[in-house]
Amino acid sequence: MKIVAVVVTFNRLELLKECITSLRNQTRKLDEIIVVNNDSSDGTKEWLSDQKDLTKIHQANLGGAGGFYTGIKVAYENGYDWIWIMDDDAEAESNTLSKMTVKLSKDIAAICPDVYDSNNMRVSDHRSMRKNNFIMFYNLQKPLSSDVQNKNSVKIEVSSFVGPMINSKAIARVGLPIKDFFLHNDDVEYSLRLLEYGDIILLPKNKIFHREQNTKTVIEHKIFGKQIFRQIYSQYWIKYFTLRNFYFVLILHSQSKLQIYMSIFFTCIREMILIIFFDDHKTKRIMLVLKSVKDALENNLTDKIGTIKSLLYS
């Protein structure tokens, strides 16, 4: 059984080093470690050139989605049986891989350790079920039950790309992630496709840490005692991809056209109301929200980060 790790990185060299160290230290040795560098400018390329045990792929910044598309494609074409994927801010315990291999079966689509933060607290939004609401806002994820940590294994429906190991047979069936998503909801969409092959299994007692560097990109508002968090204008370009990709996933995976259009309509209205009440640069934000709807409905995933930023900040 051949297992490869795929790590996607962008301008987080110190976190990448910790991630690679954790992969090198696995008690069950990996057959290869592939690093996809999304055009980092912080010395990552130079550091990678000195790492003789890594396979390096350098490409333009195609976001997390484009990075995982490339890495999974190369790993699959190289004949690996299982492909363990993560961002550069993931750090596995030394026995994380060996615990997963014990549970491997050719009939499952993917197997996942559970995700914890740097304070050893479980991060619930990385492993979830699919919502069954008729009208959905912003995402398709529903939290797992609170007793999940007491179980040895659990079937889930949605996994982030922090640490799942994917069966190459499932990739042969459902294809690769959508590279043009750039970021956000690419993992949700791919999880739903993987379920067409088999189960996604979570091992709640097996850990991988998410060392995400938190920067202040939101402003907190309080209304009637409830907290509302809004993205600062310089980072609002991310909302375009979040919304557009959410709508696109709905269109691809919902069986009801009424549900699709109602969810898109009410999410769009809700976001615009929040903009009007809480945000600056209201006109340009609303313009971007409307563009996300238009592009999703027209199956247009061609706009890249540069185009979106120029529309928002020019």
| Judgement on whether residues 223 and 304 belong to the same structural domain of the protein | yes
The yes-or-no verdict on residue 215 having pLDDT over 80 is no
Last residue of a domain, one of 160, 189, 210: 210
Per-residue pLDDT tens digits for 131-147: 989 999 999 999 999 88
Write down the pLDDT at residue 269: 98
**What gap in Å lies between CA 159 and CA 187, rounded to an integer?**
7
Considering 210, 226, 243, which residue would you say is the last residue of a domain?
A: 210
User: What distance in Å separates the CA atoms of residue 63 and residue 56, rounded to the nearest whole number?
Assistant: 17
224 and 187 co-located in one domain: no
Pair (81, 228) in one structural domain: no
pLDDT band at 52 (very low <50, low <70, confident <90, very high): very high
Does one domain contain both 34 and 139?
yes
Among 206, 198, 236, which Cα is nearest to 219's?
236
Amino acid at 74: V
Cβ 229 vs Cβ 220: under 8 Å: yes
Per-residue pLDDT reduced to its tens digit, 156-178: 999 999 999 999 999 999 999 99
Global pTM reads: 0.95
Calculate mean pLDDT across residues 203-229.
86
| Total structural domains within the chain | 2
Please report which confidence band the pLDDT of residue 225 belongs to, taking 50, 70 and 90 as the band edges: confident
Q: Residue 224: what pLDDT?
A: 80
Q: Give yes or no for residue 213 having a pLDDT over 80.
A: no
Choosing from 187, 210, 233, the residue where a domain stops is: 210
Examine the domain organization and report whether 83 and 127 are in the same domain: yes
Q: In terms of domains, do 53 and 10 share one?
A: yes
pLDDT at 102: 94
Same domain, 206 and 222: no
Residue pLDDT, tens place only, 1-12: 999 999 999 999
Provide mean pLDDT across the span 254-277: 96
Residues with Cβ within 8 Å of 50's Cβ and at least 6 positions away in sequence, in order, are none
Banded model confidence at residue 217, pLDDT cuts 50, 70, 90: confident
- Asked whether residue 251 falls in the same domain as residue 111, the answer is no
CATH code for the domain of 185: 3.90.550.60
Q: What is the pLDDT of residue 266?
A: 98
Residues 202 and 222 both lie in one domain:
no
CA 131 to CA 97: how far, in whole Å? 29
Residue 260, pLDDT > 70, answer yes
Summarize pLDDT for 97-118 with one digit per residue, the tens.
Answer: 999 999 999 999 999 999 999 9
Question: What integer pLDDT is reported at residue 214 of this predicted model?
Answer: 64
CB atoms closer than 10 angstroms to residue 173: 14
Same domain, yes or no, for 275 and 159?
no
pLDDT at residue 20 greater than cutoff 90: yes
| H, E, C per residue of the chain | CCEEEEEEECCCHHHHHHHHHHHHCCCCCCCEEEEEEECCCCCHHHHHHCCCCCEEEEECCCHHHHHHHHHHHHHHHCCCCEEEEEECCEEECCCHHHHHHHCCCCCCCEEEEEEECCCCCECHHHEEEECCCCCCCCCCEEECCCCHHHCCCEEECEECCCCCEEEHHHHHHHCCCCHHHCCCCHHHHHHHHHCCCCCEEEEEEEEEEECCCCCCCEEEEEECCEEEEEECHHHCHHHHHHHHHHHHHHHHHCCCHHHHHHHHHHHHHHHHHHHHHHCCCHHHHHHHHHHHHHHHHCCCCCCCHHHHHHHHHC
Same domain, 255 and 290: yes
71-80, 188-197, 208-217, 299-308: the lowest-pLDDT one: 208-217
**Domain co-membership, 99 together with 16:** yes
pLDDT computed for residue 212 by the predictor: 77
Q: Write down the pLDDT at residue 116.
A: 96
pLDDT at 146: 85
Pairing between β-strand 127-130 and β-strand 82-87 as defined by DSSP bridges: unpaired
Quick one: pLDDT band at residue 222, thresholds 50, 70, 90? Answer: confident
Q: What is the span of the domain harbouring residue 57?
A: 3-210
Average pLDDT over the chain, rounded to an integer: 96
The angle formed by the CA atoms of residues 301, 304 and 309, to the nearest 5 degrees, is: 130
**Cα torsion 291, 292, 298, 303: sign:** positive
